[in-house]
Amino acid sequence: MLAHYKRLLDRIGVIEQGLGIALILLIVVSITVQVFTRYALDRPIAWVEETATYAFIWMVFVGASLGLKKGRHIFIATFGSHLPARSAAAMRVLVWLLMLGTLVVLVQQGIKVMGVEGRSSTVSLPIELPRSLFYSLPLTLSSASMAFTTLWLLFDDLAVLRGRPSAAQSAVEPTVGPL
């Protein structure tokens, strides 16, 4: 059961990765095109900048939920590594529960915001799109995806509490800070 759930998460991760990489490429290409059109053609295309910004917002939220699947979110190692395995798992269970609550609130509020933002539309794109598509939608989807991942992490640590080995903790990539 848990293995099936994990496979589903992995599939979501593959989609997120593909989408995120495509978005980074879109950012690079659109900004390069913008510089080119400004200097070579002396006629900048106004909506390119907006495209890059929206692609960036989506990229961030997609990258954040992929980062959680890879265990790459930054936390500060305090005393967790000094605890016996089961106590550490118990501490993580508490953290996952709190995280799940936070993410559910974000999803819930995100949906509410979508309703409001959906009433105004984009400024300079050639086609008019609701603004919610670029602000609250990625936030909501990303929070939902992270909530599903957190649920798996929670089940995994509950299994540890029952004396089974952890699948998540052994798969964690080394955490390297971003700056």
Partner 1 sequence: MTLFMLFGLLGVLIVLQMPVAIAMALSSIVTITLTQQIPLSIVVQRMGTGLDSFVLIAIPLFVLAGHLLNRAGIAARIFDFAAAMSGHIRGGLAHVNVVASMIFAGMSGVAQADAAGLGVVEVNAMRKEGFDPAVAAAISAASSIIGPIIPPSVIMVVYGVMVQVSVAEMFLAGFLPGILMGGTLMVTIYWLVRSGRIVAPPVVPMSYPRLGRTFVRAVPALAAPILLTVGLLAGVATPTELGALTVVYAAGLGFLQRELSMRDVVDALRETLVTCGVLVFIIACAVPFGWIVATSQAPMKLAQFMMSISDNKYVILAILNVALLIIGCLMETTAILLIATPTLFPLILALGIDPVHFGIILIVNLLIGTLTPPFGVILFIMMDIAKISLAQMSRAVLPFYIPLFVTLLVVTYWADFVLAVPRLFGKAN
**Closer by beta carbon to partner 1, 5 or else 37:** 37
Tell me how far apart the alpha carbons of residues 38 and 29 are, in angstroms, rounded to a whole number: 14
67 counts as binding partner 1 under rule CB under 8 A: yes
25 counts as binding partner 1 under rule CB under 8 A: yes
3-state SS assignment for residue 134: coil
Total residues binding partner 1 (CB under 8 A)? 64
Smallest separation, CB 155 to partner 1 (Å): 18
Exactly one of 12, 26, 45, 113 binds partner 1 (CB under 8 A); which one?
113
Residues in the chain: 179
3-state SS assignment for residue 114: helix
Tell me how far apart the alpha carbons of residues 118 and 87 are, in angstroms, rounded to a whole number: 46
Separation in Å, CA 104 to CA 2, 10, 26, 82, 148: 21, 21, 30, 31, 10
Rounded to 5 degrees, what angle do the CA atoms 54, 9, 68 make?
60
- Part of the chain binding partner 1 (CB under 8 A), chosen from 1-9, 97-105, 158-166: 97-105
Exactly one of 9, 63, 89, 149 binds partner 1 (CB under 8 A); which one?
63
Residues 113 and 35: beta-carbon distance below 8 Å:
no
Q: Which residues bind partner 1 (CB under 8 A)?
A: 17, 20-21, 24-25, 27-28, 31-32, 34-35, 49, 52-53, 56-57, 59-68, 70, 72-80, 91-92, 94-95, 98-99, 101-103, 105-106, 109-110, 112-113, 116-117, 134-136, 138-139, 142, 174, 176-179
